[in-house]
Amino acid sequence: MKTTSMRVKLRGRYDAYRSAASTLFSITSNDLKLSAALTDATFSTGPSLTDLALSLQKPGSFSVVLDFLKKDVSFHFINDAVLMGRTVRLTYTHGHAPSGKGRTKFLGSSEFNSANGVVVGYESDSRALKVSFLYTHGDMEKRTVVEPSLDLSKNTWEIAATRSFLGRDFLRASYIASSKDLEFQWRRKSKVYGSFKISATFNSGQPARFPRLMAESTWSCSI
């Protein structure tokens, strides 16, 4: 007889640049996950559906997201296929807004080996074609991950590098050439005290501009 286990997760985020707070509440039961994302605008003028988003997902299979602010619903499907002897993960996303304009995105990813892989994505509305690579070096205690990517439709590039320590602390730096945004991030995972993430984003094109600071904390428990 299969027993039912439930896990509750609460994530809080504060964006100092926008002076805005948001919360993500999720419940996972066996292989289904129900989430609700909301911001301070949801309760600022009394309970409302403003800035509220609901999602139902089966990790690695599908998800449905309903965004009340944008009046938008999106569907997300994942499947694995074998191509030329390699396993390719295919992802299909379709969103639909009240205006009738749909958004479709295709994503395909594959691993060359246990440390390196490639991801190719295409968005129909913006006609953006993006290729990302993944390079991994080191073991679980001290691992470095480098992720360069190219947007072939706009001739722009991005790069990110993550360094992990003991599988608990993660330092990440990323740069987006099109927006000239440079981000630094520190993330810690703890089963006892919860997890948190602190990030700072600088714009190299506007050096006098105050950096965007963001803090996020996550708590989870089983019931």
- What string of pLDDT tens digits covers the 223 residues of the chain? 456 668 888 888 888 777 777 888 898 887 889 998 887 655 555 555 567 889 999 988 999 998 887 788 899 999 998 888 888 999 999 987 766 677 899 999 998 887 899 999 999 877 889 999 999 998 877 899 999 999 998 899 999 999 998 878 999 999 999 999 999 999 998 877 779 999 999 998 888 888 999 999 988 877 7
The number of residues making up the chain comes to 223
pLDDT at site 142 = 86
pLDDT at site 3 = 60
pLDDT at site 116 = 92
pLDDT at site 199 = 96
Euclidean distance between CA atoms 131 and 110, whole angstroms: 12
